[in-house]
Amino acid sequence: MTKRAKKRTKSQTKSPEFVVVAFAEDIQQAKDYESLLKSNDIPTIISERHKESTDTKGVAVMVPEDFLDEAHVVIESQDAYDDFYDLALEDERDDDFESDFFDEKF
């Protein structure tokens, strides 16, 4: 008689270990990261830690270790996108100020 391999039950399956992918300044930014990552099919949890108990400030955004590299790419891409448009809007506001100044007739 041969032995059958044991079937894994839910209690025996290994749950993924979550690691920090980013620290958000506040809960709203953490939720923004969470929705961004989840829209890219990356499981995400938010871990609010007491600031006194850790040296880091903010809210931890965590993903399974297997998704860490992909999550970094998604967040960095979004940050670069945001920076680009912040810079573009800043330049646009500067251009409006200068054009108003030179358009006035004395």
Q: Say yes or no: domain 18-101 is CATH 3.30.70.
A: yes
Q: What is the pLDDT of residue 87?
A: 72
For residue 73, pLDDT beyond 90: yes
At 72, the pLDDT band (50, 70, 90 cuts) reads very high
Instruction: Tell me which of 95 and 25 has the higher pLDDT.
Output: 25
Query: According to DSSP H, which parts of 3-104 are helical?
Result: 27-39, 68-103
C-alpha separations of 62 from 58, 89, 98 in Å: 13, 31, 45
Domains in the chain: boundaries: 18-101
